[in-house]
Structure 1
Amino acid sequence: MSPSAPRRGPGPGARPAARPPAARLPERGAAVSPARRAAWTVVRRVLEQDAYADRALMTEAEGLEPRDRALAKQLAFGAVQRRGTLDWVIARLAPGKKLEPPVRAALHLGIYEQLFLGTADHASVDQAVELAKPSYGYKLVNAVLRRLQREGIELPGDETIAGAAVRHSHPQWLVTLWWKELGADATRALLAADNEPAELALRINTLADVDEAALPPGRREGDALVVEGPFDVAGSPLFRAGVITPQSRAAQMVAPFLDPQPGERVLDLCAAPGGKTTHLAALMRAEGEVVAVERHPGRARALTAACRRMHATNVTVVQADARTFTSGRPFDRVLVDPPCSGLGTLRTHPDLRWKVTPDAIAGLVVVQDRILAAAQAALAPGGTLVYATCTISAAEDRLASEDRFRTLPHVDGTDGFSVARVTGATRSGQPAA
């Protein structure tokens, strides 16, 4: 399950120096493109309010033309992903300068365009300068970007942990973790993959009437469709009719691993937003019962709506805390999809790498163990339990089993998942003798 990282309040951002009463702010010049304006606002909200970039983009890009919306996403997600690298560049081209968040956001976009998109220099500079106005920090934006034009800059190599953290823009603690768990070469490949655009994968819903000719072009892998080219999922009539739903190929491997059968009683803990829940229902041909547990009232309502849209008529949504969930009747199969650090989804959640901390992982492990214990208590003798997390963190692999699989972005081209299964489990969660 995607993480729900604790939110922090707005950062203290430096204030501009006091100006004489007669001073006049500089006027804006050339108009800023709608895509850049939306991207800048998203980056500002991430910097100032600790907002989630994907949620902020949904608001700020509303009403944009498809081309502008795509550019806004590319700019905003790229600048947020590369924040570590961009701040490293700023520290070298403008050492010791304190920047207001709006100015820093404009500078992030300008540097990102120059270093990673190859945008024409005059466009990246002029637009970033205009975004920084009316603050007098626009002069610094202009100076830094002009210097970057003239001199360029060489990023550190990734032969060391510190260099790799800057070059690939990941927090150093995370690079250290993966360096230890995966090895240096695999870590470098994973870091690079995290900054690539994520593929758009859909699941074709077998509970709906599917007209294959109406599906967008792409590569089919069973019920998975990897879309080629741009496609507005939420705006598609196929989505509204429950024919398709966005779901990574890695996430689509989880429900089949549990292998639910028609007529069985299945428990899905921490079920929202419902991708795996509705997949379980489809594999069961909507026969039997899926009990989907979600603690948050709003997410439980959204889960109910998703099940209705996806024709998952055998799903019962229960608003309850998965850590303390009990049932009078045992379940044939149980899926545990607990809150996790989400470190396997950094391509689709560009700000997540800056939100997760080692302390947060330690806290999540406690929650995961409690949910796993509740799942084990609800499992019928001889039943099957699957524990799945969308992360790359050995500490969060809480179910001991040799029957498991892992996906990695740099190897499999999809999200990073760790999935383990036990069949005939005891209440301790270990395989029965």
Structure 2
Amino acid sequence: MPASPARRTALTVLRRVEEQGAYADRALHGDARDLDPRDRALAKRLVFGTVQRRGTLDWIIAQHVDRKLDPQVRAALLLGLYQLLYTDVPAHAAVAESVELAKPSPGAKLVNAVLRKVQRQGVDLPSDDNPKGAAIAHSHPEWLTLMWWDWLGADETRALLAADNEPAELALRINPLAGVEVDLPGRREDDALVVEGPMDVLTHPLYLAGAITPMSRASQRVARTVDPQPGERILDLCAAPGGKTTHLAALMGDEGEVVAVERHPQRAKALQTQVERLHATSVRVHVADAKAVTADALGGRFDRILVDPPCSGLGTLRTHPDLRWRATPQAIEALRVEQEAIVAAALGMLAPGGRLVYSTCTLSPREEVVAGDAVRTLPHRDGTDGFYIATSDGDQGARSEVPRLR
């Protein structure tokens, strides 16, 4: 019996991620578009879960295999192990379909042997009472586990590692500027609606009408912290894809001006499309480098400024499963330099008595570059993305006391 379309697609996407460095969510969006909704959901579950658990699965494979595997065989084995150990897929289906995915390679026999042995004997993972063991047991890079262990403590780190491997809640932002009533089942918090059950948001009529947009509850806290008022001038630096930009416009009743700065022309174009879909007529998109833009170029100083700079994204590992394997301490140090430069430029455009809000969707002390009143959300504690949101009165600049990563 041939493998199911969902598993065939999952194998193709996983190989693109492993061999070509593709992003799992983007590759899945392209390769799974022709599947029916049920198969598309299964393919996503298999790809995201296998990529998230890759560190643990690699450790298990190393206990059973002493040679380099053909890429197709390796991908099939990863998918089979993930299904056996972390899903409710019947064991016979997980084994049989993974063997089919490995064919016609002779390695299909190895896939069958390893999966059946794991099915019979299970696995004994290292204890998570130390950073090295926790990194293997919870499938995170060891350097990242150690960073959190030193920063947050052992108990918080173990809880965070476990939460990163759980499905993220589906949160929407309800957009009042659309003038459309939103009557969907779920839990309401301010403009946020946490949806119950699966939902294909991007094809939903309410999305097409601009009445809803996917946005985590943590992300929605950012614009509320900026607290824009009708008639004010607001600056949003590094604004694409526009979720926070359009939320700012909605919170001020679309009265005033939101200048959204984005340096990449294609991202700025996508931002403009988002602005139009969400009926935010007060937003003006400006293509420029946030580190170099000036108040004169933008028509004067601003009452409130949001700095939402490029970051490592370590607070979003549930929805971006491969980020944990892409981030490095060196990349974080480079990001900090850029973040500090953007904050410095922003402070030069803030009106006297104005408010600057700095936010990142990451959990990294080196990226908390702004002091001031701050809040940090944690996935295991708050049930949403990990964010750092700091408010400065304009007299506080970038931090210098945060130790460098190891």
- Report the TM-score, using the length of structure 2 for normalisation: 0.96
| Matched-pair contact (CA < 8 Å) for 1:37–1:131 | yes
| Matched-pair contact (CA < 8 Å) for 2:173–2:214 | yes
Within 1, Cα distance between the matches of 2:396 and 2:177?
34
**Residue type at the aligned position of 1:75:** L
Aligned residue number for residue 395 of structure 2: 426
| Matched-pair contact (CA < 8 Å) for 1:84–1:170 | yes
User: What is the 5 A alignment of 1:64-213?
Assistant: 64-94=35-65, 96-212=66-182
Task: Give the secondary-structure state (helix, strand or coil) at the position aligned to 2:352.
Answer: strand
Within 1, Cα distance between the matches of 2:375 and 2:396?
23
Aligned residue number for residue 278 of structure 1: 246
Within 2, Cα distance between the matches of 1:174 and 1:52?
20
Superposed CA RMSD: 1.1
Cα deviation, residue 298, structure 1: 1.0
| Matched-pair contact (CA < 8 Å) for 1:381–1:426 | no
Select 1:325's aligned residue among 293, 318, 324.
293
Cα deviation, residue 182, structure 1: 0.3
**Residue type at the aligned position of 1:91:** A
Question: After the TM superposition, which segments of 4 or more aligned residues of structure 1 sit over 6 Å from their partners?
Answer: none
> How many residues are matched?
396
Task: Give the secondary-structure state (helix, strand or coil) at the position aligned to 2:217.
Answer: coil
Task: Give the secondary-structure state (helix, strand or coil) at the position aligned to 1:342.
Answer: coil
Say yes or no: does 1:55 pair with 2:26. yes
Aligned residue number for residue 33 of structure 1: 4
Bigger mean CA deviation after superposition, 306-315 or 135-144: 135-144
Select 1:224's aligned residue among 188, 192, 216.
192
Unaligned runs of 5+ in 1: 1-29
**Residue type at the aligned position of 1:221:** E
Within 2, Cα distance between the matches of 1:320 and 1:100?
46
Aligned residue number for residue 403 of structure 2: none
Cα deviation, residue 300, structure 1: 0.5
Within 1, Cα distance between the matches of 2:311 and 2:245?
17
Superposed CA deviations along residues 320-374 of structure 1, whole A, max 9, x for unmatched, are 1111111211111100000001100000000000000000101100110111111
Within 2, Cα distance between the matches of 1:335 and 1:352?
24
| Matched-pair contact (CA < 8 Å) for 1:422–1:429 | no
Superposed CA deviations along residues 93-142 of structure 1, whole A, max 9, x for unmatched, are 11x21012221111100000001114222211111111112222212111
Within 2, Cα distance between the matches of 1:181 and 1:60?
39
Cα deviation, residue 427, structure 1: 7.9
Task: Give the secondary-structure state (helix, strand or coil) at the position aligned to 1:418.
Answer: strand
Aligned residue number for residue 18 of structure 1: none
Select 1:256's aligned residue among 208, 221, 224.
224
Within 2, Cα distance between the matches of 1:429 and 1:180?
22
Select 1:409's aligned residue among 347, 355, 379.
379
| Matched-pair contact (CA < 8 Å) for 2:307–2:346 | yes
Within 2, Cα distance between the matches of 1:392 and 1:384?
23
Within 2, Cα distance between the matches of 1:231 and 1:70?
10
Within 1, Cα distance between the matches of 2:383 and 2:22?
27
Percent of counterpart pairs with the same letter? 65
**Residue type at the aligned position of 1:323:** K
Unaligned runs of 5+ in 2: 400-406
| Matched-pair contact (CA < 8 Å) for 1:164–1:175 | yes
Within 1, Cα distance between the matches of 2:120 and 2:392?
60
Aligned residue number for residue 24 of structure 1: none
| Matched-pair contact (CA < 8 Å) for 1:277–1:292 | yes
Superposed CA deviations along residues 373-406 of structure 1, whole A, max 9, x for unmatched, are 11111111111000000011111000111x1111
Aligned residue number for residue 23 of structure 1: none
Aligned residue number for residue 300 of structure 1: 268
Within 2, Cα distance between the matches of 1:152 and 1:340?
38
Cα deviation, residue 40, structure 1: 1.2
Say yes or no: does 1:362 pair with 2:333. yes
Aligned residue number for residue 350 of structure 1: 321
| Matched-pair contact (CA < 8 Å) for 2:53–2:138 | yes
| Matched-pair contact (CA < 8 Å) for 2:370–2:396 | no
